[in-house]
Amino acid sequence: MAYPLRNGNSVKFLMDGEEIFSALKAGFDRVAAAPRGTPHTYVRMAFWLIAHNIRLGNLAQFAVDANSLIRHVGLVLRAGHDADLILWYPNMKARLGMKEQPLEHDALARNIGELDLSLHRSTGGQSGRGRVYRERYEGLFASSQHQKIAIFSVNGQRTVVLGGLNMAHRYFDNTRHDVLLGGAPTSWHDTAIELKGPATDDVEDEWIRRWRRVIDIADATVPTERLYNHLTARGITDQWKQAHAADIAANPTAQVVVPAGAVPHVVQNVPVQVALTRSSATTRTRVTDIRERLLALIGQANQRVYLENNQLTDPDLVRAIYRRKQAVPGLQVVIVTNPSGGGVGYLTRRAWMHMALRHPSCRSVVYASKKDPTGQKVVVRGAGPAPAWQVEDNYTPNVPTWHQWLEDDGLRFAKTSAGHHLVDTKKKKFHEVLDVDVDFHFYTPASHTGWVNTGHGVVPAFRTLCIHSKLAVVDDYLICGSSNWTYRSLQYDGEISLFMRNNALADAALARLLGHYDTVNAVNLGNIEATTRATADAILAAGAPAIHQAGAFVLLPLEYRPGELGPSSCLFWGDASPAHSTVDRLRNARERLARVQSDLPDWTWW
């Protein structure tokens, strides 16, 4: 069941690791400072990944061992308050590529268990209780519990920190993106929300729902799983069950938000809706609230759709965006993402192709010649006596039989013969399309670091960011949480996101994001296409000295390659074959390597 939209919340937008880790430290400090015996005072967390030796705080604090998470847990317990953590724990079958979580989470559970027992003894039983639940996700095989939640309650009043950031050292960066880890920049971008008010009831309700699963194990009449393998807590050694070992107290306190005054990045009285994704391997109903809510908002959008994430691959989401753009031509659509390769890049390119080939500014495409592997052909939109230009979207989830919907997506256009009228149409699949001449791109932030001789010429070198943020702005809504814009996150991983309706909040967040992505130009949704193309032209011409300043980030259009079609500009996609097509991948890689290496930041396909 979807949670309702709740009024009267306080929202603070947090951008990048330093702000998020500082908010986490502040939450621990508030709970630890509360007098012993203060009711409903605790820390409750649930994360996809927490490193056992992670630290908290700002850049200076993060470098000091005294600010470790384990020490902050100890301060809370010593003050007489509880700290309960839920950590995702991949099952044995899924661990081949997920070794980090079981190693880190076993170590963290062991450390907290030992700390809890030590403090219990040294304080004569006056310390709080520290417990760790290593949760096996209830969803489908290979899916994960991807939520990132921290709840800090003092006298029943909660502060929630919720977003996309995991708690490991590589996730720590600041808004300047100049943090070094092991001598190299972390180059990580993330976002989160600090939330106070009635909507925290629903965040904690989801946390409690997850915790109840270990209560069922502890209190089982006929145990089927050993409690010790799931719950690390005082008094549990190798028991199959222990009644009440996992009991958790409800917090019925009515949430009251006191106006905070002029606090940076804080907006008061914001309507907030908590939305989830949750699948199950049992007969319980799958929950896809995030997907349904986002699709509904896009279907009603009249002003703007802005998405940022490390990928944009969900086919329903892609279809909703291009359909709404066709219905509302003035709708501003902006996507900021990574220059990823492999399957992620292939699918994100598919998203761009569906939007770009339908865009009213699309003028022509270049595609590979089948007869001449090194040759190219150009088709101009609108050419011919009876022009055809049909973009085929073959995603049909309701068809029960296997079919190649992904590989069959393509462009059908007029096929003519010299001296003759239209005789037929020709289709080129997306992986056969090399360049598109259009005034619509996806964008990525990059720092121009100099020039490199690749053996195929001198080309610009860049440092790019990992856009790990899971954020959207749709008209007056700001959406932020743990959900990627992928089929996996929107259908069967465990996810949580906040839908916040406040135009001032959305405007401010968007301005901060674009302003920190491009520290040279004043970028907004209206000028982003022209500005990023001009920036790319200046870099390729070795002009605009300010762009070359050390550490200066600018937004660039992905796959932009000027001059391919005369005075206009177009994209070049390099190897555009489907991810599974090994022969085509190798062939395209060999034939197009020289061209790709002379490009701006791109998606690479091998």
Domain boundaries, the chain: 9-267
Higher pLDDT, 197 or 283: 197
597 pLDDT band (50/70/90 cuts)?
very low
**Which stretch, 136-145, 176-185, 346-355, 465-474, has highest mean pLDDT?**
465-474
CA distance 597 to 453: 10
Label residue 396 by pLDDT band (50, 70, 90): confident
pLDDT at 543 over 90: no
pLDDT the model gives residue 549: 59
Span 37-48, average pLDDT: 99
Read off the pLDDT of residues 217-267 as tens digits, 9 standing for 90 and up. 999 999 999 999 999 999 999 999 999 999 999 999 999 987 767 777 899
Q: Which of 1, 8, 2 is nearest to 501 (CA)?
A: 8
pLDDT above 60 (res 522): yes
State the architecture of 9-267 in CATH terms: 2-Layer Sandwich (3.30)
pLDDT of residue 435: 83
Helix%, strand%, coil% for the chain, nearest 5: 30, 30, 40
Mean pLDDT for the stretch of residues 274-291: 82
Q: How far apart are CA 519 and CA 579, in angstroms?
A: 35
Task: Report pLDDT for 566.
Answer: 27
Residue range 461-471: average pLDDT? 92
Categorise residue 177: left if φ over 0, alpha if ψ from -120 to 50, beta otherwise. left
Provide the pairing of β-strand 332-336 with 304-308: parallel
pLDDT at 74: 99
pLDDT average, residue stretch 267-281 = 91
Quote the CA–CA distance of 114 and 52 in Å, as a whole number.
13
% residues pLDDT > 90 (the chain): 66
Residue 104 scores a pLDDT above 50: yes
Predicted model pTM = 0.91
Dihedral (CA of 358, 361, 363, 368) sign: negative
Q: For residue 567, is pLDDT > 50? A: no
Q: Is the pLDDT of residue 592 over 80?
A: no
Q: What per-residue confidence (pLDDT) applies to 508?
A: 97
pLDDT at 454: 66
Average pLDDT, the chain: 86
Helix (H) or strand (E) holding 210: helix 200-218
User: Is pLDDT of 140 > 90?
Assistant: no
**139-143, 176-180, 505-509: which has the minimum mean pLDDT?**
139-143
Whether 404 shows a pLDDT value over 70: the answer reads yes
Query: Of 601, 142, 49, nearest to 345 (Cα)?
Result: 601
Residue 1 has pLDDT above 70, yes or no: no
Q: How sure is the predictor about 412, in pLDDT bands with cuts at 50, 70 and 90?
A: very high
According to the model, what pLDDT value does residue 180 have? 93
Q: For residue 385, is pLDDT > 80?
A: no
pLDDT by residue (tens digit) across 329-364? Answer: 999 999 999 887 777 888 899 999 999 999 999 998
420, pLDDT greater than 50 = no
Report the pLDDT value the prediction gives residue 93, as an integer from 0 to 100.
62
Task: Read off the tokens for 21.
Answer: 């880790």
